[in-house]
Structure 1
Amino acid sequence: MGDRAKRRRRRFFFSYLLLAVISFAVFRSLGPVIITVRGTSLSPVLEDGDIVLARRGTRDLERGSVVLARAPLRTGSRAGELFHRLRYRFSDSPPPGPVGRPVPRVVAGLPGDLIQWDHRGVLVGSDRYEVILLHQDLPGPEETVLLGDDEFFLLALQPGRADSRIVGPLDRSRILFRIQSIILPVDRRGIVESVLPESSGVR
């Protein structure tokens, strides 16, 4: 009787431990995370060193949502880029991802949106958003793109930062987190609201 009770307790312990491990894995993959912001591309909404609460994935994204995305361009050092290229020079497959760290950006266009932009701003449907000038000239006087089912149009808020006006729409898989609130510093604590500029509502 004593051995049977011990076996039951052992089975209960291992079942409880397995449930705890599974719950932790689910929480890690779906639950909120704490991230330290690097860079000033969304200043003054986010500043370098801000500690924020973020949620994984692209569920419920809307225009004005602040996200952390993996950009399809170099954001790291020149040496890092050269190492990345040499590593895959003799490989039959392309590099698995871009060089550089994820960057904060604002969602301006959602899947299915028709986007037009020039040096004056970005037009989403009939709404024109006045945004900062780019750090380089656009390929033409005006660009237009119809976003696919899994594409988003992202913007920076400071000059000298590449965004979708330069690199094009970003696939859903490149959007890692939606930033929800600032935790620290205390004087900046609060919910991160929609940060798109006011629309002029004209073409």
Structure 2
Amino acid sequence: TGNMLIIDAGSNTDCDEENLMQFARMGSIYCSYVLDIENPRVGIFNIGSEPGKGNEVTKKVYKLLELSDLNFVGNIEGRDIPFGKADVLVCDGFVGNAILKSMEGTALFLLDMMKEELMRSWMTRMCALVLKDGLKRIAKKMDYSEHGGAPLLGINGACIKAHGTSNAKAIKNAIFQARKYVSEGAIDYIRKEIVSEVDVSGT
């Protein structure tokens, strides 16, 4: 399993292929400079892994990404998301937000179900004691506060959007995230990349 940056996760619900290409580039830069991922893998969220799958926008952006200098790994299906088959998952904000909320709900449901089953009898409670450290690690991986928040990329500054129920730990990590975003110069790299792409597409 691994972490994945979903872009967009709710800000832009109607996108064309040029928007998605910009998302791919911004996400790749953010992963490189802020998350310390070397040569981030970029994928498109789609209904199948084959190149010809999806709507007209996803088909067009697939071809654009194939021709780009990004580390494009193809289409990513919903079932592949938890397994970290890409570092950057490109989609419009409507789809991205649905993915985010679905995974959030699934994680909470699984944790509640595990807790209910492990507390069912004295024997399962004994098992829970044995599994305590492992269960804590699983809960930590699913805890949004470990990450702080989601970056709002493409604006002239650092903005980390925290969850509405963020605790002190989440806010602290969001501040650390924003500090690194600025200190690594990622904003300037994104600005130059997007301006360069606009110039090329406009010629």
**What TM-score, normalized by structure 2, do the two folds share?**
0.26
Larger helix fraction of residues: 2
Larger strand fraction of residues: 1
**What TM-score, normalized by structure 1, do the two folds share?**
0.26
Larger Rg: 1
